[in-house]
Structure 1
Amino acid sequence: MVEQTTVLQQTEAQPKSPAGAASSSLRHESAHLHVAGDARYVDDVPLPQGAVHVALGLSSRAHARITHMGLDAVRAYPGVVCVLTAQDIPGHNQVSPVGAGDEPLLAEDTVFFCGQPLFAVVAQTRHAARHAAVLAQVEYEDLPAILNIEQARAQGSPLVCRSLEMTRGDAPHALAQAPHRLAGQLAVGGQEHFYLEGQAALAWPGEDGEIRICSSTQHPTETQHMVAHILGRPNNLVTVEVRRMGGGFGGKETQANIAACLAALAAERTGKPAKLRMDRDDDMLVTGKRHDFVIDYDVGFNAQGHVLGVDMQLAARCGWSADLSGPVTDRAMFHADNAYYYPDVRLRSIPLRTNTQSNTAFRGFGGPQGAAAAERIMEEIAFATGLDPLDVRLRNVYGTTDRNVTPYHMTVEDSIAGEIMTQLAADCDYRKRREQIRVFNRTSPHLRRGIALTPVKFGISFTATHFNQAGALVHVYTDGSVQVNHGGTEMGQGLHTKMVQIAMREFGLSKERVRITATTTGKVPNTSATAASSGADLNGMAVLAAVRTIKDRLVAFAADKWHVAPEQIRFTADGVVVGAEVIPFATLVNAAYMARISLSSTGFYKTPKISWDGATGRGRPFYYFAYGAACAEVLVDLLTGENRIERVDILHDAGQSLNPDIDIGQIEGGFVQGAGWLTMEELFWDTAGRLRTHAPSTYKIPACSDRPRIFNVKLLENAPNREETIFRSKAVGEPPFVHGLAVLHAISDALASLNDYRTCPGLNAPATPEQILRVAERLRQQGGETNAQVHA
């Protein structure tokens, strides 16, 4: 049984609000539809009469020139309407999200990875389109292919985007003067998004060049722009709508553009509605993954475990195009300190171009990879000094008055990682359990236990400063019902629910009176992606701005009509208090309408205080940090290499939570996804560059049986955000993902028992059974030697 502990936070004094208002646990706004099977996704939208279907023809080479592409058999297949190639694109054959010009929608003369779209088949049925697509006769002239980081470094592969360096102090001097020094390497693998709903889009052609698209995208505005770019028409002729997604995790931030553009192109060419829903195998073959990294580190420290200097290189396999690799590798460096202060530091990114899928956004956006390096350093120091890893971590956390400047020169003003780790260690009895585990391991020949407690400090904001803005549109109707629209997208994380709660709280309404509508570029333009954990922060403040504009109008109207001071008017669950009277909200609204008071408003918000200069590697890229800590206990079978998560305790900082139940759900889900990335999710390409793990049969994600046997999750009490976020809450989408690192280090702790905890196991991720057995054998044969070279 999963044990769950929820600690609700104290809320600020506020007017009486209906059950479910902000800061309480209103159920997900679509929960009843999910349970009943009535929640409509792209594939559930009824097809208009005469709609056509689109399927992809994919490259079978990793890097080659196309010498001949025979499509006659494809066109001749029964039911095929037409076949689209790069030459059929009326606008620009480019879908690079950063304007790099290196990502054609359909290949032209050269292919750059195995699975790259070559053409699109448009047919009367999906069956016909898919079967016709495999009939193409494509001839290639193979070119040298670079498939991984090792090859890219050895063969001098060009960088896919600019490299970044962050420095503070003099790292080489600090390392040279340190009494102890060690160097090592950490490899962390990639990860498939594996959203339940695959990439899908449905496009309708309209009049005078208009086109409407229902897309499973996290970034409707970018999808709008890409479709307009491909079709060669202005943005105002393209409308993109998203009611909900069946998961995204970053995989639908840029990758959804492919499906939307090809559906739109087919609709443009045929004059009929067109739908593309990728098969799971095609989805995994075409779309990008989490970036895998190889991180080289050199660290100086003293006998007490204090870090004195750090030099780190973070090399990433980025794939065939730039995509979002620049900001991803930047964020990896932003989090290469995790919760720790490095007195002198130098960090460098190496974003390498390879002939594999173009790696892209994924929950954490590079942050987890950087944090993994920080935790490896803490682990290495603990083994080198003989200290408890928790003590090393506590001795190196950021302070609030000194030891508080990051490698990118941002001052950490609210470091609470140490307090959270200390509280969690006491709550879960970490130190006693650690001793009990060591006793167990002395007498257990084949089963070993391990425990680890790791923190997270996660920066909240888009590092591209201009994305830190949001808009909203709120309508109040004359019956007192409210409709809310905003620029964020719902992918199951509860964003729409929180937006409903904001309107409920401000107007004093029940949930039945507030309706969220589909995100659409036709209502709120120029939106940012729902990403970077900023969905509730940005859109919540925009919704609040719109609601309060309407409230101000209603207050001014009521004050004039009933001859009371504005401060005597309050919106409560019982109605609107106007002086000594309580007036039903609908009555007030209808009276305002009769007096010609506007009951509709837009809202806009931009995040304050942030700035970033990529040229110098300095600035304040984050508005604030979210914190937390996790303690994981595992059991490792040394005969099979399998591991089991016995218990996990998490204490997480969500500020003044908008919805504790939803936030705890996000923490649980983020942790499990993070643990899956680090222990079982393995991507494998063969020597020809073909992805072999492209289906549920070959790629393993966590199942119900992989969850912790005991799972305790608490929200930090009495911890409102010190910054002026929406009702003093904190973002909760990505930070909990990093808690999975506790599992990796617990497995490492279990393996360390093989040589009586003398040396660091140097466990890379994912810690699959094969990897665990290899490390265990190495520790036995080499007497504890690791990949780290220690210099006293």
Structure 2
Amino acid sequence: MTDMKTIRAPIRGAVHTGLAHDSAANHVTGRASYTDDIPEPVGTLHAYLGVSNIAHGRILSMDLAAVRAAPGVVAVLTADDIPGENDVSPTGKRDDPVFPADLIEYHGQPLFAVVAESRDFARRAAAKAEVEVAPLAHALDPEAAIAAGYPHVTAPLTLARGEVETGRDGAPHRIAGKVRIGGQDHMYLEGQISFAVPGEDETVTVHCSTQHPSEAQHMVAHVLGVPSNAVNVQVRRMGGGFGGKESQMNLFAAVAALAAKKLDRPVKIRPDRDQDMTATGKRHDFVVDYDVAFDEAGVIAAVEGSFAARCGFSADLSGPVTDRALFHADNAYFYPHVRLQSRPMKTNTVSNTAFRGFGGPQGVVAAERMIEEIAYALGRDPLDIRKANFYREGRDLTPYHQQVTDNVILRLVEELEERSEYRARRKQIEAFNRDSPVIRRGIALTPVKFGISFTATHFNQAGALIHVYNDGSIHLNHGGTEMGQGLNTKVAQVVADAFQVDIDTIRITATTTEKVPNTSATAASSGSDLNGMAALDAAEQIKARLVAFACESRGVAADAVRFLPNAVAVGEEVIPFAEFVKSAYMARVQLSAAGFYKTPDIHWDRSSGTGRPFYYYAYGAACSEVEIDTLTGEYRVLRADLLHDVGRSLNPDIDRGQVEGAFIQGMGWLTTEELWWDEKGRLRTHAPSTYKIPLASDAPRVFNVDLVSWNANAERTIKRSKAVGEPPFMLGISVLEALSMAVASVDDYRTCPRLDTPATPERVLMAVDRLQRGAV
């Protein structure tokens, strides 16, 4: 029996308490092991990609003799070496070849792979290829693609409710405009990498940095022409992902596995940062045409929008990304009459892909632009226009016909409005701007309403595997992947709470397709929701067996068995957890279970544009203050106040870190992270030297981040928490809106500056010049 004082002490790592990331110490000391840290077996080879130097053209010939003859080269792989399907499309459209057979569709497209004794040998040899190409005309952005008559990469979506023409007829004001929203590179710390080790017969083990092990497994199997059970994909951790490793890793996993099986030797592929950036997709650029009608109070009557996106040469995930842009084109606002259409355009650029928010941020930017237009047209504070249009009772149906329930956006915004002293500071800023000829300031408070669930309903499922060993230690494996976001820590806290044991009792092991099959990507902010519930299901199965064992062996009723901190009470007897488990093992009780979870009550009919695609919504708001130099366009963020709804947080420390990081990443997307292709289709911002992500010095001088403490999730999510990965990304939009106010001050706030993104210092300077000249 155990000491009663011990069982009164709470377990270490209980849910709803702050706890450091399980790998935090290893991260900062360099002991955390990534794919490139795996010891290489004797005979390991290295692959490198040979890529195109033209944006669009037909391959006439490809002379690789010099490549094969280069020092250290063991093999060169082309489309002819693929025994299975020459395709790594995540949607099965067969439009994404490993290596093209005859048609080049973007500058930097992989054409072949060199396999050599060292990475340096492979890299040098790849440059020796002689490829003869017949050039074809190319289109690099959505507007050029539309003008050239390019097709959509997937079927467009229309969301409609009410009658837009009727809504316009009854409204006294109407504004039409256009906003160009730039893309974004994932700029993960760990680049794309795969390491394949051949096994017996058809089998191969692939270690890779992927958010979607099951998809990598299936893609490798398709390329090799083998069943999925021959491929094992393992992921211990990633050095960042942000969506860039959801589908884009397919190519690298397939090339490594193809080479490993062909040569019967381990093969690793790790592109340079430059090649990683040119050969992998990014956040979609959008061009949004909007038409909004409204009344004298600024209340929206009708909205029409067309969302054209730069999707790249293949579909990849562009269909669901552009769908989600439409889903979030309302943000937190009710549109009585609405018609929204997507235009996922094929372009001769790398195929764009998932990125934190998955199209949602682009939709929210469009919504906030319309609010901004209304505010400047009426001479009103944009926050008043926002509040006038918030979803509320009787005005609570989205453009996709889902009712907004548990709507806390007004309360949350008003709380932040008071905390940040928004009204007083706005008056002070207006006074400052009147007296400052060069330096101008702006402030904005913007909301976020973000839907949580995969819109592809079948992805809303997860599995987990738990073993309780006879010494009381616990092995946990689930289908989610750890990319620094703390997923493993949160799921372990759920299991610790279920068994009432210290979190040190639990060991989280690498995600592998051998333990949990058919998993969904760790994406859509669903990692904790899905995998936490699956792990809890497994834990509850084992607990039920332990309770049955206690009842049978001690002759007590089930309600007399209680799990206490690191102990189990059976009637009046209190037994240490490890001792109790040992006795259950000796009695041949099964101490292993596979858990499963599927999100309930969601459905979506894309053909009609109606349904309930989201299980619930997460809400947030941010108030940002900026300062610009009207002579140079340079600016800085003076202060940011964030308030975000995470339900009953599983781990407030990790969630607060996610909110902070998402805000900074969102701010970077909208301000400094500019992607630029030249007229030949070459991505010129292809390295940290030419692509600017935010630095520590770019963070707000005053940075206040708080979590909502009063809003447990109304839905039965894991411990009533809410997703936190993607929703706070859109809080960075407050910086863009604040910059807009600062620019508008040079025209005494009469004109909406219509800043395109990213709002680089150059764009800010040009906007100031336009307003000063009255050119807008």
Q: TM-score, normalised by structure 1?
A: 0.96
Distance 2:589 2:419 in 1: 55
**Are residues 1:779 and 2:771 paired?**
yes
Instruction: Please state how far the C-alpha of 1:105 moved relative to its aligned partner.
Output: 0.6
The aligned counterpart of 1:534 is 526
Query: Amino acid of the residue matched to residue 767 of structure 2?
Result: V
Q: Report 1:652-667 matches (<5 A).
A: 652-667=644-659
Aligned pair partner of 1:212 in 202, 205, 208: 205
Aligned length: 770
Q: Report 1:236-275 matches (<5 A).
A: 236-275=229-268
Contact 1:336 1:371 survives alignment (8 Å): yes
Deviations 1:216-249 (A, max 9, x none): 0000000000000000000000000000000000
Of the structure 1 ranges 504-513 and 520-529, higher mean CA displacement relative to structure 2 is found in 504-513
The aligned counterpart of 1:94 is 87
Contact 2:188 2:242 survives alignment (8 Å): yes
CA RMSD in angstroms comes to: 1.0
Aligned pair partner of 1:731 in 716, 723, 730: 723
The aligned counterpart of 1:10 is none
The aligned counterpart of 1:721 is 713
Deviations 1:448-498 (A, max 9, x none): 100000000000000000000000000000000000000000000000000
The aligned counterpart of 2:327 is 334
Deviations 1:282-331 (A, max 9, x none): 00010000000010110110011100110011110100000000000000
SS at match of 2:201: helix
Distance 1:470 1:107 in 2: 35
Distance 1:537 1:446 in 2: 49
The aligned counterpart of 1:460 is 452
Instruction: Please state how far the C-alpha of 1:19 moved relative to its aligned partner.
Output: 2.6
**Are residues 1:58 and 2:54 paired?**
no
Instruction: Please state how far the C-alpha of 1:560 moved relative to its aligned partner.
Output: 2.1
SS at match of 2:176: strand
Contact 1:172 1:311 survives alignment (8 Å): no
Instruction: Please state how far the C-alpha of 1:176 moved relative to its aligned partner.
Output: 2.5
The aligned counterpart of 2:748 is 756
Instruction: Please state how far the C-alpha of 1:177 moved relative to its aligned partner.
Output: 2.3
Deviations 1:532-578 (A, max 9, x none): 00000000000000001000111111122222221122212241122
Contact 1:17 1:505 survives alignment (8 Å): no
Contact 1:685 1:692 survives alignment (8 Å): yes
Distance 2:509 2:72 in 1: 37
Aligned pair partner of 1:82 in 71, 75, 81: 75
The aligned counterpart of 1:6 is none
Distance 2:555 2:24 in 1: 44
Distance 1:421 1:679 in 2: 24
Query: Amino acid of the residue matched to residue 433 of structure 2?
Result: N
Contact 2:49 2:114 survives alignment (8 Å): yes
The aligned counterpart of 1:670 is 662
Query: Amino acid of the residue matched to residue 714 of structure 2?
Result: R
Instruction: Please state how far the C-alpha of 1:582 moved relative to its aligned partner.
Output: 1.3
Aligned pair partner of 1:357 in 339, 350, 354: 350
Contact 2:502 2:566 survives alignment (8 Å): no
Contact 1:16 1:572 survives alignment (8 Å): no
Q: Report 1:315-326 matches (<5 A).
A: 315-326=308-319
Distance 2:557 2:442 in 1: 65
Q: 1:425 to 1:723 in 2, by over 3 A?
A: same
Aligned pair partner of 1:230 in 223, 243, 249: 223
Deviations 1:708-744 (A, max 9, x none): 1111011001211000000000000000000010000
Contact 1:636 1:750 survives alignment (8 Å): yes
The aligned counterpart of 1:107 is 100
The aligned counterpart of 1:550 is 542
SS at match of 1:626: strand
Q: Report 1:167-566 matches (<5 A).
A: 167-399=160-392, 401-566=393-558
Distance 1:230 1:500 in 2: 35
The aligned counterpart of 1:4 is none
The aligned counterpart of 2:4 is none
SS at match of 1:296: strand
Distance 2:428 2:229 in 1: 66
Q: TM-score, normalised by structure 2?
A: 0.98
Deviations 1:356-389 (A, max 9, x none): 0100000000000000000011111111111111
The aligned counterpart of 2:626 is 634
The aligned counterpart of 1:692 is 684
Distance 2:144 2:742 in 1: 33
Instruction: Please state how far the C-alpha of 1:15 moved relative to its aligned partner.
Output: 9.3
Distance 1:47 1:25 in 2: 38
The aligned counterpart of 1:49 is 42
Gaps of 5+ in 2: 1-6
Question: Which contiguous aligned blocks of 4+ residues in structure 1 show a shift greater than 3 angstroms?
Answer: 14-17
SS at match of 2:703: strand
Of the structure 1 ranges 251-260 and 30-39, higher mean CA displacement relative to structure 2 is found in 30-39
**Are residues 1:766 and 2:749 paired?**
no
Instruction: Please state how far the C-alpha of 1:16 moved relative to its aligned partner.
Output: 6.6
Contact 1:188 1:369 survives alignment (8 Å): yes
Contact 2:740 2:753 survives alignment (8 Å): yes
Distance 2:297 2:347 in 1: 42
Distance 2:100 2:566 in 1: 62
Contact 2:675 2:685 survives alignment (8 Å): yes
Contact 1:317 1:352 survives alignment (8 Å): yes
Percent of matched pairs sharing the same residue: 60
Distance 2:658 2:540 in 1: 29
Query: Amino acid of the residue matched to residue 726 of structure 1?
Result: I
**Are residues 1:590 and 2:588 paired?**
no
**Are residues 1:130 and 2:123 paired?**
yes
Distance 1:395 1:552 in 2: 52
Distance 2:27 2:358 in 1: 28
Deviations 1:380-407 (A, max 9, x none): 11111111111110110101x3100000
Distance 1:437 1:658 in 2: 38
Contact 1:318 1:351 survives alignment (8 Å): yes
Q: 1:40 to 1:574 in 2, by over 3 A?
A: closer
Distance 1:220 1:15 in 2: 41
Query: Amino acid of the residue matched to residue 377 of structure 1?
Result: M
Instruction: Please state how far the C-alpha of 1:26 moved relative to its aligned partner.
Output: 1.3
Contact 2:192 2:271 survives alignment (8 Å): yes
Query: Amino acid of the residue matched to residue 612 of structure 2?
Result: R
Distance 2:406 2:495 in 1: 30
Contact 1:15 1:571 survives alignment (8 Å): no
Distance 2:71 2:289 in 1: 56
The aligned counterpart of 1:610 is 602
Distance 2:295 2:557 in 1: 66
The aligned counterpart of 1:26 is 19
Gaps of 5+ in 1: 1-13, 787-792
Distance 1:276 1:378 in 2: 47
SS at match of 1:450: strand
**Are residues 1:706 and 2:698 paired?**
yes
Query: Amino acid of the residue matched to residue 278 of structure 1?
Result: P
Distance 1:442 1:348 in 2: 42
Query: Amino acid of the residue matched to residue 210 of structure 1?
Result: T
